[in-house]
Amino acid sequence: MSPAPASSGPDGLPTIAAPHPNPHGPTAFTPPPKACDAHCHVFGPASTFPFAADRAYTPPDSGIDDFEVLQQRLGLSRAVFVQASCHGTDNSAMVDAITRGGGRYAGVAMIDDQATMAEIEALHEVGVRGTRFNFVAHLGGAPPMDEFWRIVHRVAPLGWHIVLHFDAKDLPDYAEVLDAMPCPYIIDHMARVPTKAGLDQAPFQALLGLMADERAWVKISGAERLTADGPPPYDDVIPYARALIAAAPDRILWGTDWPHPNVRHMPDDGDLVDLLAAFAPDEATRHKILVTNPERLYPFDTP
């Protein structure tokens, strides 16, 4: 595993790459109306929304204005902004992005024990419906589990879900934690399973097993992270996504992960949209993944 990057480069310069400067539009299919990018981020701009002092990486500014250009290029109209660790528990940039969407955007926050119920309810009011926990080593590893459970039990009564970002090798170790969840939970990026380890690898079989639980959702995102090859076409990721869709088509989400923090190879977001046609060749299944499933979790088109 790569060592954690420095929090900032010389003079506070970015330590990770910028997103693709000119992604192409979809060529494999036309996204339906109300199609949702259910996993993306906004970074800064740092002059308005500073990054966390203890961040593991410093991204280039990739704010809501840049994102809306991307949405138009890709033919998407809804989004779920997932709070990234570089902003810590200051959700201001995400809240600003959701507010500017006028009902087209929703969010997943990062909160800690210091958050008051008034602050959590304010996030709920703007369109946040989940909180995220990073368990991956390069972002600091697992949170203190006593704090984890306190937060889970505070947000569950609001109808929120829990978003979990795991290293693949660790997923089987958290079976008892997931079994005890009092609310729906979402596994990010297909649990980051490495395709070179095969469909029979223990982490992927654990993930498939979870999908029998009606609380369990998964994002078929992060192909550029899972692939053994690096650049597209990411063909080795297709069997994994198809297996997850077959297991639980009503609990699958998809997202670009724009602007792609800490990737080995910067993807073209148009390639990622096109890849969804290989993951789900039939239009009805793609409609579930892009429209119907996100609508079950997020309050789109509401004030």
List, in order of start, the domains of the chain with CATH numbers. 32-294 (3.20.20.140)
Give catalytic status of residue 257 as yes or no.
yes
Give the model confidence (pLDDT) of 120-159 as tens digits: 999 999 999 999 999 998 778 899 999 999 999 999 999 9
What contacts 103, CB < 8 A, 6 or more positions away? 127, 300, 301, 302, 303
Q: Which residue has the higher pLDDT, 39 or 5?
A: 39
Give the model confidence (pLDDT) of 183-236 as tens digits: 999 999 999 999 999 999 999 999 999 999 999 999 999 999 999 988 889 999
Catalytic residue among 167, 188, 257, 274: 257
Percent of the chain topping pLDDT 70:
95
229, burial (CB in 10 Å: exposed 0-12, middle 13-18, buried 19+): middle
What is the rounded average pLDDT of the residues 153-167?
97
User: Does residue 31 register a pLDDT over 60?
Assistant: yes
Pairing of strands 105-109, 78-82: parallel
| Confidence bin at 3 (pLDDT 50/70/90) | very low
Q: What is the C-alpha R_g of the chain? A: 18
User: Does residue 2 register a pLDDT over 90?
Assistant: no
User: Does residue 259 register a pLDDT over 50?
Assistant: yes
DSSP labels, 40-86: E--B--TTTSPPPTT-S--PPPB-HHHHHHHHHHHT--EEEEEPPGG
Return the closest-CA partner of residue 64 out of 26, 85, 95: 95
How high does pLDDT run on average in the chain? 94
